Amino acid sequence: MSDKTSYETLRFEKQGTLAIVTIDREKALNALSSQVMAELVALAIELEADESVRVVAITGAGTKAFVAGADIAEMQSKTREEASTFVIAGAKVGTTIEASKKPWIAAVNGFAFGGGCELALCCDFIYASDNAQFGQPEVKLGVIPGLGGTQRLARRVGVAKAKELAMTGDTVNAQEALRIGLADAVFPAAELMAKVTAVAERISANGPHAVAEVKRLVHEGQSLSLEAALAAEQKSFAGCFATADQKEGMAAFLEKPRRKANFTGK
């Protein structure tokens, strides 16, 4: 993996099989600039190729913000054509994370507004600190969510609640986000990363191919009929029996005494 200095707006570190990505623009409340978005895509691709990484967590520098939104100072003077270029580049962050075979966990440690909420929505799980806040306030600036907010939010919390949040621009605290399904768990701020690490360790102990297939099937199945989605699941299940991980996992289960499987992702 590249040296940490390869990225100007990001920091990352590895803790065993977990890679922790930190958006490092604390003075700007970790706002998403064009540079941040380009570096996130590049780092996501790099992490995808690193076989030693099995789970990725993403968070924001400091204690105030996960990501407070897209960089308004950068966007304010853009033309329609320039705005199109900006939002297409931003959307690539989400599609790259969703296409990853590895689970991504959003560790929301403060404000997750606008593009920050949308970044969290791209991830497989959203774990929040008890001081986190979420919202899509773009209408207050005369624009709409452009990085997936009108679509991923509706899939998360339901159509009516998504319209309410995106039309009013209201924000919700961590407990309300948990209640409506926007967050998957809420922890005291001091415990957030330890909880994320613990979940990452449990995931990493499982077969990487199987984990990747679960992510792919759940994601792709949302746009398929139930019949087609079940057929895809059955095909994937059978395909697992051509992997070394299936042989290792079942052999380890049947051994006496039962041992921990040593999965390789093959």
Which residues are catalytically annotated? 118, 138
Say which residue the tokens 């950068």 belong to.
Answer: 74
Q: 64: how many CB neighbours lie within 10 A of its CB?
A: 14
Concatenating the DSSP letter of every residue in 101-133 gives SS-EEEEE-SEEETHHHHHHHHSSEEEEETT-E
Structure tokens at 125: 């799980």
Cα 95-170-130 angle, rounded to 5 deg? 75
Say which residue the tokens 């939002």 belong to.
Answer: 87
Q: Using CA atoms, how far apart are residues 249 and 252, in angstroms rounded to an integer?
A: 5
From the list 138, 144, 20, the residue with the least C-alpha distance to 69 is 138
Cβ atoms of 66 and 120 closer than 8 Å:
yes
Q: Using CA atoms, how far apart are residues 177 and 130, in angstroms rounded to an integer?
A: 10
